[in-house]
Amino acid sequence: MESPQPGPVVSAGGASCRLGPSPTAQAIRLTGLRVTRGDDLDALLEKLPEPPWDVELASDDPAIGLLGDRGFERYMGGVFMAREAAGVRADPPSDIEFADYRNDWAQAFSDLEARAMAGLAAFAEMGSPSGYEWGAGHGVFIAALDAKRRLVGFAHAEMPDGMIDWLAVDPDRQREGIGSGLVRELGRRVVDGRGTHLMAVADEDSPGPAFLRSLGFRDRGHRVSLIRRSAG
C-alpha cells in the first residue's frame, strides 16, 4: 500500500486531475478529474504515466462517456455515504479486541481478505496481494482480534477526512457486531485527528450500503468507478 500523500496535479487545456494510488484498483487514480471536451482529455492522458488508470465519478458526470470512448471500462457502481464520525453505536462481542493493524499480520490479513471480500468488484480489481497487508501507519487501520488473537476483521480509512476504503469481517463472524465496532473505532480515531465525518463509497451490489445505513450513514449520491487497463 502506497502513502496516501497527495500526488501531482496534471492539466491540459480545460482538463485536470491529481495523480495518486487508487484505493480500489491496482491503478493510478485520476482524482478530481475535470474535463468536458474530448480533445482536452486526450491531451491530459498523453501526459500521464502508462496505464492502468482509474477514476471515480458521479454517475451523471458527462466525462463518463468521454472516458468510455477512450477505453475506460466500468468496474463498480457505488453509493456515496456519510455520517458524523462521533457517536457510532456498536455492541461487539466480548471476545473481540480492537487494535492498530501490524504489518507482521500480513499473511493472516491476506487469507482473511481473500475469504471476506470474495465477489466484491473492488477486490477483483485489486487482486491479491492488494497492498493493504502492508498498510500499517497509513491513515487509520484497525484490526479486530478474537480471544485467540486471530484476525477476524479489519477496517482502513484515510485521515483526516475519514474516507473508509477497505473493511471486512470474517464470514464466520458476521452479524455479531464486529463490523459496527470497527466503524466505531475508525470514528473515534477520526475525531481524535480533528476530522468530523466518516464517508464511504459502498458497492451497490453488496451488503455494504444496508450495513452503513444501519449505522446512521446517509446516501449522498451514486458513483461509478472506471478503469483503463494496461495495453499488455
Q: pLDDT tens-digit profile of 27-76?
A: 999 999 999 999 999 999 999 999 999 999 999 999 999 999 999 999 99
Do 128 and 198 share a structural domain?
A: yes
Please give the pLDDT value at position 6.
Answer: 64
Handedness of CA 22, 25, 27, 31 (dihedral sign): negative
If one counts the domains in the chain, the total is 2
Cα–Cα distances in angstroms (integers) from residue 58 to residues 33, 81, 165, 222, 227, in the given order: 11, 13, 17, 6, 15
Are 93 and 163 within one domain?
Answer: yes
Q: How far is CA 72 from the centre of its chain?
A: 19
The last residue of a domain, from among 76, 91, 112: 76
Amino acid residing at 198: L
Instruction: Answer yes or no: are the C-beta atoms of 173 and 28 closer than 8 Å.
Output: no
Residues 6+ apart with CB under 8 A from 182: 98, 142, 144, 153, 154, 155, 167, 169
Do residues 88 and 148 share a domain? Answer: yes
Inter-CA distances, 57 with 30, 60, 71, Å: 10, 8, 16
Q: Which of 76, 105, 128 is the last residue of a domain?
A: 76
Per the domain annotation, does 2 fall within a domain? no
Q: Are residues 130 and 149 in the same domain?
A: yes
Residue 72 is assigned to a structural domain of this protein: yes
Which single residue is written with the C-alpha cell 465477489?
Answer: 119
Assess whether 210 and 128 both reside in one domain.
yes
Kindly list the distances between the CA atom of residue 211 and the CA atoms of 140, 154, 203, 217, in Å, as whole numbers in the listed order.
20, 15, 11, 9
The pLDDT tens digits of the residues spanning 192-225 come to 999 999 999 999 999 999 999 999 999 999 999 9
Above 60 in pLDDT, residue 1?
A: no
How far apart CA 209 and CA 215 sit, in angstroms, is 10
Domain that holds residue 43: 9-76
Mark whether 93 and 55 lie in a shared domain: no
pTM for the complete prediction?
0.93
Both 94 and 157 in a single domain?
yes
> From CA 4, how far away is CA 108, in angstroms rounded?
23
- Judgement on whether residues 48 and 125 belong to the same structural domain of the protein: no
Q: Are residues 64 and 98 in the same domain?
A: no
Question: Do 68 and 152 lie in a common domain?
Answer: no
CA distance to 98, 126, 146, 161, 224, per residue, from 122 (Å): 25, 6, 26, 21, 12
In a domain, 230, yes or no: no
- Cβ 194 vs Cβ 160: under 8 Å: yes
Of 76, 104, 134, at which residue does a domain stop?
76
Three-class SS state of 22? coil
pLDDT, one tens digit per residue, over 144-191 is: 999 999 999 999 999 999 999 999 999 999 999 999 999 999 999 999
Q: What is the mean pLDDT of the chain?
A: 95
